[in-house]
Structure 1
Amino acid sequence: MVVDGSVGVEQRGGRKRARGSERGSSSRPCAIDPSFFNTLFICVFRLHVAEIDELPRGSPLERPLHAKRRRLWTPPSSDPVPLSTTGPSSSELDIVKEVEPEIVVANEVAPSCSSAFPPSLPALYVEVMADDVASTPHHHQSLQRRSFQRRRRPCDADIEAALNYGSENDSSCDEDEEGPPIMIPRALQQDLMDTPEDDVLDEVLPPSSNPSIASTAETMMPHDFFDFQWESFPNPPISPNVRREVFSVENVGPTIPVTDPYLTFREIWDEEIMGHIVQQTNIYAQQVAAAMMENNSLCPSSRISYWKDTNEDEILVYFAIILAMGVVVKSKLVDYWSTDGSIFVTPAFSTHMSLKRFQLLNACLHFSNNNDMCVESLSPSEAKMFKIAPIIEHCNKRFQALFVLNQNLALDESLLQWKGWLSINQFIPNKAAAVGIKTYELCDSETGYLWRFEVHAHKKATAAQPASILDASTPAIVLRLLQGLENHGYTVWMDNFYNSPALARSLKSNGFDVVGTLRTNRQFLPDELTQLTKAAMRLGQIAGFTSGDVDVLVWRDQNRVATISTYHGNATTIVEGKTKPIVVADYNIMMGGVDKKDGMLAMYPVERKRTRVWYKKFFRRLLNVSVLNSYIIYKKSPQQVTHRHDHRSFRTQLITSILDRHSKKQSVSLADQPAVRFEAHSHYLMEHPPMQGKWTKKLRRKCCICNTLTRFYCAGCNKTVCMHPCFPSLHTY
């Protein structure tokens, strides 16, 4: 999210760009080198850089769900410096006193068709681009050694003549170019496209063979699909409500009647997928036992030797215990089955499933048959995801079938922490996990409902050059996540990792609106914006262009913020006493769908328990997400308007319902459990046999109760235990 312009910090020349000086700051004089005239021409004569307060006012289209609760500091009252509305003030045109001063431009810049400066250009004190200054060491040193005399301050007539030079009597500048940009109808774009996946997505499209369509395209849209004709924003501006796609989806929200948390959860984990998990778990347990018998590594004390086939009821109880570990957080797994009588004891865990059985299910839980894997017939990405592919496919299918999305969609990546070695591991420093398994997710911006996701499992080898612009990996991911939602008026909110003018136009032609931040090194952007640095703009300035269906803006706040939108325009609004473009204000509200989902999952860390198998941890993440989606479905259901649960009570009721319906054991307190008596001849002490060539100290093991080294163990239960007092306390005769 863009918070006070904290997005878009650039690095040039191996160092971070310094923040541009504000009004009233002192500056040093500098000379205008003739080699920088081309850059000056771009900045002054072509690009319109205006104060943000001079732009038309508008109102945000999106409203926050909750008001911000924070303390606001009110600065001492002071008279604000009025902004000039007719032209630059005398203070703005004062002598430049720094090597990297500010740009001084007029508010209204007429389009110029000249390619050179007039020979009689007055000595304007304007800034040259900071990158060009830094790239000329000799010139930079000369600026430090030389001192300049105060020049004559140009009058208003000189400024107007310089800025409007070459635009008065040029016949090539028509009056039609000053009007609003031509809107591109979506129907016409679709008529010109043969196949959206092949021809239209090529970087250079062949002209249409139909004469009628070709003649219409000459007047209403560019010849090429990605031929952007960047123009200034129309004045007066077009209302965003007119340009935005009409949302045509009815009955958004849950698609099923909801009456109980358990039934909602079972809509996702139905009998089909539960039967598949039970079958694959039993097959894998038999395969492990058979492999150990062949290797002569199976002994009577092996955990797998106690295996018996599981069933759906036991797997659901296993799920409930995993979910309960996210509510009752302990540091070790064995602490949940502890019987030491302390205040931290949770006896209910042992009444529903023993520790050994839980560990055995952890080890044998499986989702795909290893014997069915054929590496030759799978791509590298499919081979990496083979073990968890059935669960991913099922969750995507059920998530989409149970909920109809609202108009605003957030597309972002999420990261599941995994510190072990893994070929698909990704490093994202601005995420809380930093390193782990990355997923691309499409969420509802309002509720955080995860509707579709895709795991990043691309091949690390360098791929061939894509056949078209949108065949690259990032645009292809966006198109796959949005597949099936075309022509319904959805608005997709994305950050600068995904956004580009080509992707925005492609989605606009398919009935989507696109809003988000933008990287200014993307293809098809105007050169004026790509060369506009942070130091070249004052605090509060804004510049941008429109191409009819795509708008790009660069706003100078604490950092340089570049945005792209298909309907916002350049209108501004006041948020908490600060003037911002409405595209930034709406982006801050609607972009946090994936982050909202991650924040709600972080309160119940189901997947935090360590495991040596990555796809089992990822399965726990999907189990946790399914509970959250069930809660959102339950919360948004019309049947639950009068009686709602919060997130924690929903989880506790769901866990209790699963155990009541599928657990065969009754919950009894630890005090009500009778003392277990054993036969004396079945449990007795024995000493570990001596080992040849080994020290006696190495024969000792830790006692299972007091952790003291001892040479004795119980022959009945094969537990290392002290002779006194641990053995009598372990077995009551």
Structure 2
Amino acid sequence: MARRSYSLLQAPDYVRHSESEDDEESAASVSSENDSITTNDEDYHPVPDSSSSASENDTKTAVEVERLMEETVGEAADAGAPGAEWMSRSGNIEWFPTAEETMRYNPVPTGITPGPTLYAVTRISTLRSAFDLFVTEEIIQLLCTYTNLHGRRKCENWRDVDDVEMRAYIGTLILAGVYRSRHEASRGLWADKTGRAIFRATMPHYRYAQISANIRFDDKLTRPGRFRNDKLAAFRDLWEKWVARLPLLFNPGVDVCVDEQLVGFKGRCGFRQYMPKKPAKYGIKIWVTCDVATSYAWKMEIYTGKSGSSREVNQGMRVVLQLTEGLKGHTVTCDNFFTSFSLAEELLRRKVALVGTIRGNKPELPPHLVQLRQRKILSSVFAFTKTAMTVSYMPKRGKNVLLLSTKHREPAVSDVEKKKPAAILDYNKCKGGVDNLDKVVGTYSCRRKTARWPLALFYNLLDVSAYNAFVLWKAVNPEWESAKPHKRRVFLEELVQTALTTGESPSAHTEGFTAYLGKSLLISQ
């Protein structure tokens, strides 16, 4: 006989109806026995005592209801329908244990060719020209204007800095980074016996120190009015001019990564952050969108802390949407600080896919994914909507890795030893774009010890500019120095030489380096 299934609402009524039928049958049996008593033991049915019937009926009711509820939920799960454990904890997202209702992901064409833009390609002829696309003549003039303005106010014997000398000053900073002398006192770099002749040939140490002490990026006298509405007022003008150049010169590939960069700084700053997992731990946080293939910094935004007394709601979503604006047909990879179901939906509307780890306390997740009891190590549990997939991977006992993807729509798992889902493998390949940028700029960083946060940001600006210029130069000239292992070091050395020796009207301070360079070339020949 086929067993009938009841819903959760029908189960209690069924049990009560069964009890009433049992009571009627018992009463009928008692009345028939009173009318005609028989001695046949087979027809005798004992009647339960009235004092215990109520408690037994209650126990029976509870057991029957629980049994029917378990059977109903189990049969619903077997049929592929989402039960309570597959509904999101917020109650507004319906997940499914299979991908039968999930639509296939068809990425739209990006419409652009990855690599340097046509604007950049037509303007790159030398290493210097690649760097000048980022640190433009407009930026150099801004540096000279505000540095001279501050120098005249503070120094009695101040001599104005021109664009050639400013480029020479930037060249000495980059060259100190090439020599990995960021922690070495600048006076030691200029020392007669233990220093390097190239620094002495470029400019005297007192001039280098004078420019370092007076370099500014805005007018200090007008800063208080701007600072009331902008914590970045001391650096805003230069930053906006520079950051607008980044997407103008390069088209990212299909995969991009959004993450944070920490510029190390321990001085006084109203928006200094503490990030214990970063090497510097204390510093200024910058949101970055990087091309995964090259780690080119495509868009950047400085985090200046919360405005007012209230925290920003959905900050991660706002950052990703802002730093990926203009992309179409790409896949964004980010960590659990940014990832949410609402972000995934909004990116899909923009024709952009999302792959990112997600926190287990998110209300959009179904309870079944965060439960680890009776789970096997290296097991994976999938949940699907029509346009997204979430996977729970258990690499070891007690650890749950949760990932949300709108790119992956099938429960694919690797057949290698750790049996990782395909979505997690793709995430691992693309998650390190910004971390790799931090690594490469830190190798030959021009950062110097300073108590001024705008100067710390300026050093990072030069580091990122030099690396981005290297990416452009290698894309335009793929055969350049192909046999040398340390191409970026060679690039920086040659860039410094052009920065210190070229110009329409070289200043007296660069003539010494020209003579030094000529002597070194004769010796090498």
Q: TM-score range by the shorter chain?
A: 0.7 to 0.9
Q: CA deviation at 1:230?
A: 1.4
Matches within 5 A, 1:399-548: 399-459=246-306, 461-463=308-310, 472-485=314-327, 488-530=328-370, 532-533=371-372, 535-548=373-386
1:231 and 2:82 aligned:
no
1:316 and 2:167 aligned:
yes
Distance in 2 (alpha carbons) for counterparts of 1:247 and 1:367: 41
Which of residues 594, 607, 614 is equivalent to 2:434?
A: 594
Distance in 2 (alpha carbons) for counterparts of 1:377 and 1:433: 27
Per-residue deviation, residues 283-328 of structure 1 (Å, max 9, x unmatched): 11123x3xxxxxxxxxxxxxx2331111100000000000000011
Distance in 2 (alpha carbons) for counterparts of 1:176 and 1:595: 41
Task: Mark the CA change 1:373 to 1:177 in structure 2 (over 3 Å): closer, same or farther.
Answer: same
Alignment check: 8 A CA contact 1:575 1:585 kept: no
Q: CA deviation at 1:374?
A: 5.1
Matches within 5 A, 1:7-156: 114=8
Per-residue deviation, residues 200-247 of structure 1 (Å, max 9, x unmatched): xxxxxxxxxxxxxxxxxxxxxxxxxx9422122225987xxx414223
Matches within 5 A, 1:341-360: 341=193, 344-360=194-210
SS in 2 for 1:268: coil
Alignment check: 8 A CA contact 1:601 1:625 kept: yes
1:332 and 2:185 aligned:
yes
- Read off the aligned partner of 1:271 and give its amino acid letter: E
Distance in 2 (alpha carbons) for counterparts of 1:259 and 1:496: 42
Q: CA deviation at 1:166?
A: 1.9
Distance in 2 (alpha carbons) for counterparts of 1:310 and 1:277: 9
Q: CA deviation at 1:164?
A: 7.7
- Read off the aligned partner of 1:601 and give its amino acid letter: V
Distance in 1 (alpha carbons) for counterparts of 2:145 and 2:7: 74
Tell me how many residue pairs correspond in the alignment.
437
Task: Mark the CA change 1:233 to 1:376 in structure 2 (over 3 Å): closer, same or farther.
Answer: same
Distance in 2 (alpha carbons) for counterparts of 1:658 and 1:175: 71
- Read off the aligned partner of 2:72 and give its amino acid letter: G
Q: CA deviation at 1:422?
A: 2.3
SS in 1 for 2:299: strand
1:250 and 2:112 aligned:
yes
- Read off the aligned partner of 1:660 and give its amino acid letter: T
- Read off the aligned partner of 2:210 and give its amino acid letter: L
Alignment check: 8 A CA contact 2:379 2:393 kept: yes
Distance in 1 (alpha carbons) for counterparts of 2:437 and 2:512: 35
Task: Mark the CA change 1:455 to 1:169 in structure 2 (over 3 Å): closer, same or farther.
Answer: closer
- Read off the aligned partner of 2:240 and give its amino acid letter: E
Q: TM-score, normalised by structure 1?
A: 0.55
Q: What residue is the counterpart of 1:269 in the other structure?
A: 135
Q: What residue is the counterpart of 2:144 in the other structure?
A: 278
Q: What residue is the counterpart of 2:512 in the other structure?
A: 666
Q: CA deviation at 1:169?
A: 8.2
SS in 2 for 1:386: coil
Q: CA deviation at 1:565?
A: 0.3
Alignment check: 8 A CA contact 2:6 2:68 kept: no
Q: Report the RMSD for the aligned CA atoms in angstroms.
A: 3.1
1:625 and 2:472 aligned:
no
Q: CA deviation at 1:570?
A: 4.5
Task: Mark the CA change 1:529 to 1:362 in structure 2 (over 3 Å): closer, same or farther.
Answer: same
- Read off the aligned partner of 1:371 and give its amino acid letter: L
1:392 and 2:239 aligned:
yes
- Read off the aligned partner of 2:443 and give its amino acid letter: M
Q: CA deviation at 1:345?
A: 2.8
Q: CA deviation at 1:407?
A: 0.9
Alignment check: 8 A CA contact 2:274 2:282 kept: yes
Distance in 1 (alpha carbons) for counterparts of 2:223 and 2:460: 24
Distance in 2 (alpha carbons) for counterparts of 1:528 and 1:169: 17
Tell me which protein shows more helix as a share of its residues. Answer: 2
Q: CA deviation at 1:334?
A: 0.5
Per-residue deviation, residues 701-725 of structure 1 (Å, max 9, x unmatched): xxxxxxxxxxxxxxxxxxxxxxxxx
Matches within 5 A, 1:541-580: 541-558=379-396, 559-574=399-414, 577-580=417-420
Alignment check: 8 A CA contact 1:546 1:552 kept: yes
Q: TM-score, normalised by structure 2?
A: 0.76
Q: CA deviation at 1:174?
A: 12
Q: CA deviation at 1:571?
A: 2.8
1:634 and 2:473 aligned:
yes
Distance in 1 (alpha carbons) for counterparts of 2:481 and 2:303: 40
SS in 1 for 2:210: helix
Q: What residue is the counterpart of 1:65 in the other structure?
A: none
Q: What residue is the counterpart of 2:43 in the other structure?
A: none
Gaps of 5+ in 1: 1-110, 120-160, 179-225, 290-303, 673-733
Per-residue deviation, residues 20-60 of structure 1 (Å, max 9, x unmatched): xxxxxxxxxxxxxxxxxxxxxxxxxxxxxxxxxxxxxxxxx
Q: What residue is the counterpart of 2:490 in the other structure?
A: 649
Distance in 2 (alpha carbons) for counterparts of 1:568 and 1:353: 57
Q: CA deviation at 1:419?
A: 1.7
Q: What residue is the counterpart of 2:63 in the other structure?
A: none
Alignment check: 8 A CA contact 2:259 2:335 kept: yes
Q: What residue is the counterpart of 2:71 in the other structure?
A: 165
Q: What residue is the counterpart of 2:48 in the other structure?
A: none
- Read off the aligned partner of 2:198 and give its amino acid letter: A
- Read off the aligned partner of 1:370 and give its amino acid letter: K
Q: CA deviation at 1:260?
A: 1.6
- Read off the aligned partner of 1:635 and give its amino acid letter: K
Q: CA deviation at 1:162?
A: 9.8
Alignment check: 8 A CA contact 2:266 2:282 kept: yes
Q: What residue is the counterpart of 1:683 in the other structure?
A: none
Per-residue deviation, residues 154-197 of structure 1 (Å, max 9, x unmatched): xxxxxxx9998226988xx997959xxxxxxxxxxxxxxxxxxx
Distance in 1 (alpha carbons) for counterparts of 2:74 and 2:140: 76
Distance in 2 (alpha carbons) for counterparts of 1:112 and 1:614: 68
Q: CA deviation at 1:281?
A: 1.0
Task: Mark the CA change 1:576 to 1:325 in structure 2 (over 3 Å): closer, same or farther.
Answer: farther
Per-residue deviation, residues 399-438 of structure 1 (Å, max 9, x unmatched): 1100011110100011111122322111111111111111
Task: Mark the CA change 1:591 to 1:176 in structure 2 (over 3 Å): closer, same or farther.
Answer: closer
Percent sequence identity is 23
SS in 2 for 1:514: strand
SS in 2 for 1:554: strand
Alignment check: 8 A CA contact 2:134 2:242 kept: yes
Q: CA deviation at 1:442?
A: 0.5
Distance in 1 (alpha carbons) for counterparts of 2:212 and 2:347: 44
Alignment check: 8 A CA contact 2:356 2:405 kept: yes
Distance in 1 (alpha carbons) for counterparts of 2:496 and 2:226: 42
Distance in 2 (alpha carbons) for counterparts of 1:472 and 1:495: 14
Task: Mark the CA change 1:314 to 1:542 in structure 2 (over 3 Å): closer, same or farther.
Answer: same
Alignment check: 8 A CA contact 1:494 1:517 kept: yes
Distance in 2 (alpha carbons) for counterparts of 1:112 and 1:285: 86
Per-residue deviation, residues 498-554 of structure 1 (Å, max 9, x unmatched): 101111111111211000111011232223334x14x55220222231111121111
- Read off the aligned partner of 1:249 and give its amino acid letter: G
Task: Mark the CA change 1:441 to 1:610 in structure 2 (over 3 Å): closer, same or farther.
Answer: same
Task: Mark the CA change 1:244 to 1:590 in structure 2 (over 3 Å): closer, same or farther.
Answer: farther
Q: CA deviation at 1:647?
A: 0.8
Task: Mark the CA change 1:113 to 1:260 in structure 2 (over 3 Å): closer, same or farther.
Answer: farther
Alignment check: 8 A CA contact 1:259 1:640 kept: no
Q: What residue is the counterpart of 1:214 in the other structure?
A: none
Distance in 2 (alpha carbons) for counterparts of 1:632 and 1:347: 30
